Amino acid sequence: MSIKFRLTIMNFLQYAIWGAWLISLGAYLGGELSFSGRQIGSFFATMGIASLFMPAIMGIIADRWIPAQKLLGICHIIGAALLVVAAPQREYLPLYSLILCSVMFYMPTISLSNSVAYNALAKSGLDTVKAFPPIRVWGTVGFICAMIAVDLLGFAQSSMQLYSSAVLGFILGVYSFTLPNCEVSKACKNQSWVDTLGLRAFMLFKQKKMAIFFIFSMLLGVSLQITNAFANDYLTNHFGVIDAYKGTFGVEHANILISLSQMSETLCILLIPFFLKRFGIKNVMLISMFAWVLRFGLLGTGNPGDGVWMLVLSMLVYGVAFDFFNISGSLYVDKETDPSIRSSAQGVFMIMTNGFGAFLGSYAAGEVVDIFGWPHSWFIFAAYALAVGILFAIVFKYKHNQEIK
């Protein structure tokens, strides 16, 4: 079995574990368990909490003491076990606590799986820049397949989605121990904790342009988990009680409809080089921000009946909204930071978007849903994204002729 194929299996399972519950959990929480918007939002804020420190902690452990492939397996097995315990829970506090603990062990595996892949490819004498992207795309395929499978099996509105994710987690946990060994770094043992944790990168906040960029990264990060948390719940439970929409495809198979978002993601990634060359980093990030306006606005105006085309368009625009900022933002950080802190600076970018931003956004969105209900909440989210985009256009200064072509 070739190393590329083995890593493809790893990536497929890595994201299938997430896809089995990430998009459908909101419908289960808001439907069968009747949780409030704030409570639903809190479950998706767990990913923001975990992203603040767990990847760094597990990264240190992998660098200093436990080989990355073994730590990957341990994290998946523990995370899967916690999901098994979480699945039968029906009260908010025990279910939330167990999901939080499970996510604490899952989120670090994203970077750990990348490290395992890079190490294995390098050991095989392959160019990681060329070899990794075709392998990584199978992660998105795994996510989509898990979403569709959970929908077709009828698990999208029950705790079976958590059991499904746990089974995949156990499989990958065991499989991880068969992957090529990643040596721990002796050099890392001699590093200071400041360097190991990448804390020097926070000095970038002293630079005005970087401080502005990181602040807007957080403000845009607020939008990242909103549709993951509420889109399925909205389609399934809001429209599901309206006679005109009962039995429609969007209500009965919301997960499959939403999977178009992930499909568009894979296509939009291919468009990014053209857009960066033609419009520049700042304008590509602006396009992303205004795509979020369309994403939310179309969800608010569409319906599973004669307005389903607006829902489909909302799903398709997601790839632009999500990837255009994440990738162009990452390129901006790469271009504007010193090589000695570049990796740490990327970590700060992720902390601001997927950490603080997603955490604040999930809780704030839950409060908005509880106060304003549907579909008005979508228009509030759209107005927020529009305000952030306008402010970014005014405040963030960057010349296209300085950028990477």
Banded pLDDT at 327 (limits 50, 70, 90): confident
Which pLDDT score, from 0 to 100, does residue 197 have? 60
Q: 251 and 165 in one domain?
A: no
Q: In whole angstroms, what separates CA 246 from the centre of its chain?
A: 30
Above 70 in pLDDT, residue 233?
Answer: yes
Contact 358, 45 (CB under 8 A): yes
Residue 8 or 224, more confident: 8
Which pLDDT score, from 0 to 100, does residue 187 have? 61
Burial of residue 148 (number of CB atoms within 10 Å: 0-12, 13-18, 19+): middle
Which pLDDT score, from 0 to 100, does residue 195 have? 61
**What is d(CA 169, CA 173) in angstroms, rounded to the nearest whole number?**
6
Q: Which of 153, 188, 223 is the last residue of a domain?
A: 188
Which pLDDT score, from 0 to 100, does residue 401 have? 57
Q: Which of 119-133, 353-367, 388-402 has the highest mean pLDDT?
A: 353-367
Which pLDDT score, from 0 to 100, does residue 341 have? 66
Which pLDDT score, from 0 to 100, does residue 402 have? 47
Lowest mean pLDDT segment, chosen from 114-123, 157-166, 231-240, 371-380:
114-123
Which pLDDT score, from 0 to 100, does residue 334 have? 76
Which pLDDT score, from 0 to 100, does residue 177 have? 97
Record the tokens describing residue 240, joined without a space: 């599901």
Above 80 in pLDDT, residue 44?
Answer: yes
Query: What does the chain come to in residues?
Result: 405
Which pLDDT score, from 0 to 100, does residue 403 have? 46
Residue 50 or 327, more confident: 50
Q: 324 and 242 in one domain?
A: yes
| 405 CB neighbour count, 10 Å cutoff | 8
Q: 332 and 277 in one domain?
A: yes
Q: 155 and 39 in one domain?
A: yes
Q: 225 and 160 in one domain?
A: no
399: helix, strand or coil: coil
Q: 175 and 81 in one domain?
A: yes
Domain-embedded: residue 397: yes
Which pLDDT score, from 0 to 100, does residue 350 have? 82
User: pLDDT (tens digit, 9 = 90+) per residue, 72-112?
Assistant: 999 999 999 999 999 999 999 999 999 999 999 999 999 89
**What is d(CA 142, CA 146) in angstroms, rounded to the nearest whole number?**
6
Q: Which of 188, 217, 244 is the last residue of a domain?
A: 188
Above 70 in pLDDT, residue 37?
Answer: yes
User: pLDDT (tens digit, 9 = 90+) per residue, 260-278?
Assistant: 998 998 888 778 888 888 8
Which pLDDT score, from 0 to 100, does residue 405 have? 43
Q: Say which CATH number the domain at 58 has.
A: 1.20.1250.20
Q: Which of 188, 221, 242 is the last residue of a domain?
A: 188
Domain-embedded: residue 150: yes
For residue 226, what are the domain limits? 198-405
Q: 226 and 360 in one domain?
A: yes
CA distances from 95 to 52, 361, 389 (A): 21, 21, 36
Domain-embedded: residue 193: no
Domain-embedded: residue 301: yes
**What is d(CA 403, CA 65) in angstroms, rounded to the nearest whole number?**
40
Q: What is the DSSP string of 136-180?
A: HHHHHHHHHHHHHHHHHTT-TTSTHHHHHHHHHHHHHHHHHTTSP
Domain-embedded: residue 215: yes
Record the tokens describing residue 140, joined without a space: 């998105």
Q: 240 and 151 in one domain?
A: no
Q: To the nearest whole number, what is the mean pLDDT of the chain?
A: 90
Banded pLDDT at 348 (limits 50, 70, 90): confident
- Which of the 8 DSSP states describes residue 373? -
Q: 221 and 174 in one domain?
A: no
Above 70 in pLDDT, residue 57?
Answer: yes
User: pLDDT (tens digit, 9 = 90+) per residue, 113-160?
Assistant: 988 998 899 899 988 878 888 898 899 999 999 999 999 999 999 999
Record the tokens describing residue 331, joined without a space: 């390129």
274-277 contacts: CB < 8 A, separation 24 or more? 275/324, 276/328, 276/331, 276/403, 276/404, 277/405
Residue in this structure with the two tokens 């908010």, named with its chain if needed = 92
Contact 21, 343 (CB under 8 A): no
The arithmetic mean of pLDDT across residues 213-233, rounded, is 92
**What is d(CA 121, CA 136) in angstroms, rounded to the nearest whole number?**
13
Q: How many domains does the chain have?
A: 2
Domain-embedded: residue 202: yes
Sign of CA dihedral 29, 30, 33, 39: positive
Contact 211, 345 (CB under 8 A): no
Domain-embedded: residue 377: yes
Q: 387 and 260 in one domain?
A: yes
CA distances from 29 to 85, 234, 236, 380 (A): 16, 12, 11, 22
Above 80 in pLDDT, residue 186?
Answer: no
Banded pLDDT at 210 (limits 50, 70, 90): confident
Q: 86 and 153 in one domain?
A: yes
Q: 177 and 311 in one domain?
A: no
Above 80 in pLDDT, residue 185?
Answer: no
Above 80 in pLDDT, residue 345?
Answer: no
Element (DSSP H or E) covering residue 335: helix 308-336
Banded pLDDT at 340 (limits 50, 70, 90): low
The arithmetic mean of pLDDT across residues 306-334, rounded, is 89
Domain-embedded: residue 308: yes
